[in-house]
Amino acid sequence: MTIRDKILVVEDEQSIARFISAILNANGYETLMAQTGSEALSIISSTCPDLVILDLGLPDMDGTEILRDLRSWSSLPVVVVSARSHEKDKVEALDMGADDYLTKPFGTDELLARVRAAIRHTRTASGNDEVARQGTYTVGDMVIDYNKHQVLINGENAKLTLSEFRIVALLGKFAGKVLTYDYIIRELWGPRAGNDNQILRVNMANIRRKIEKNPAEPQYIFTEVGVGYRMAEGE
């Protein structure tokens, strides 16, 4: 018998909880359910699930409180699911430590992709399994070589500048996960860089001109409008 990943679904809407757990069960995950924040917290501390799917609008407390509480003692992956669609809410939840964010209504394939990505990133400390094992990350025709500090397209060096490489490297490390503009800026230029995304946009435009066939139809680095960037996942 294989041990299945355990996912806690925190959602007060019965119909949504039911379909989420059905789709997760069908795809080989084990699910636990919680309808309130306090219930969720007690299940988390007693059973240690592998991932939490968290609805922000709960009857007894705001989902962000659970997130804050949880992040004070655990790095357990959390995928936030919410009807709040403003990108400010997304950025807030992500900056508070959520691993990903899904806006209701969402598709089942989207849900599964986010769950997969979030679980994978906890397996290894560096975020990405392949990066940790071989020092490279491959998706499509692109290879990020972390040892040589190079990005190869069809085996050819894309000749990124240092800061361009660092952006790609960071996104590759967390492939499949959205990284907010602020997070990327902080990681690259330090906490005092401010939150001027202009420089990041310009860098990204240059990166895309070097690695994408058509910068307006990216295959490798996607834009999450108003939130940040996401690297495509490898096979």
Partner 1 sequence: MKKRKMERLFHFSWRDFLILVAIMFCATSLCWFMRILDSSGEFATLIYVMAVLLVSRLTNGFLYGLIASILGVIAVNFLFTYPYREFNFTIAGYPLTFLTMLMVSIMTCTLTAQLKQQEKLRLENEREKMRANLLRSVSHDIRTPLTSIVGSTATILENPNLSQKEQRTLLEDARDEAQWLIRVVENLLSITRISGGEQAHITKEPEAAEEILGEAVRKFRKRFPEVTVTVVAPDTLLMVPMDPILIEQVLANLLENAVIHGQNTSRIQVSVCREGGWARFDVRDNGCGIPRGKLNSLFTGVLQESEETSGDKKRNMGLGLAVCTSIVSAHGGTMEADNMPEGGADLIFRLPLDEEEDA
Nearer to partner 1 (CB atom), residue 127 or residue 218: 218
- What tokens were used for 79? 């995928």
Based on the shown chain and the rule CB under 8 A, indicate whether residue 162 belongs to the binding site for partner 1. no
Tell which one of 69, 222, 233, 234 touches partner 1 (CB under 8 A).
222
* Residue closer to partner 1 (CB basis): 76 or 82: 82
Q: Specify whether the CB–CB gap between 168 and 149 falls below 8 A.
A: no
Q: Are 144 and 234 in contact (CB under 8 A)?
A: no
Distance CA 3, CA 136 (A): 29
Using the Cα atoms of residue 131, residue 140, residue 228 and residue 100 in order, give the sign of their dihedral: negative
Beta strands in the chain (DSSP E): 6-10, 30-34, 51-55, 78-82, 100-103, 136-139, 142-145, 150-153, 156-157, 178-180, 221-224, 228-231
Under rule CB under 8 A, residue 15 binds partner 1: no
- Confirm or reject binding of residue 122 to partner 1 (CB under 8 A): no
How remote is the C-alpha of 70 from its chain's centroid?
A: 17
3-state secondary structure of 195: coil
**Distance in Å, CB of 217 to partner 1, minimum:** 5
Q: Does 201 bind partner 1 (CB under 8 A)?
A: yes
d(CA 5, CA 28): 8
Interacting residue with partner 1 among 125, 155, 216, 235 (CB under 8 A)? 216
Find the shortest distance in angstroms from Cβ 225 to partner 1.
5
Q: Is 85 in the site for partner 1 (CB under 8 A)?
A: yes
Residue 232 carries which DSSP code?
Answer: P
Nearer Cβ to partner 1, position 103 or 138? 103
Residue type, 97: G
Q: Which of 2, 46, 154, 198 binds partner 1 (CB under 8 A)?
A: 198
Q: Considering only residues 87, 129, 187, 233, which one is a binding residue for partner 1 as defined by CB under 8 A?
A: 87
Contact window for partner 1 (CB under 8 A) among 44-52, 79-87, 112-120, 170-178: 79-87
Show the binding pattern over residues 98-117: x = contacts partner 1 (CB under 8 A), - = does not. Answer: -------x------------
* 121: contact with partner 1 by CB under 8 A: no
Q: How far is the CB of 66 from partner 1 (least distance, A)?
A: 26
Distance CA 111, CA 102 (A): 7
Side chain identity at residue 116, one-letter code: R
Binding residues for partner 1, per CB under 8 A? Answer: 85-87, 105, 198, 201-202, 204-205, 208-209, 214-218, 222-226
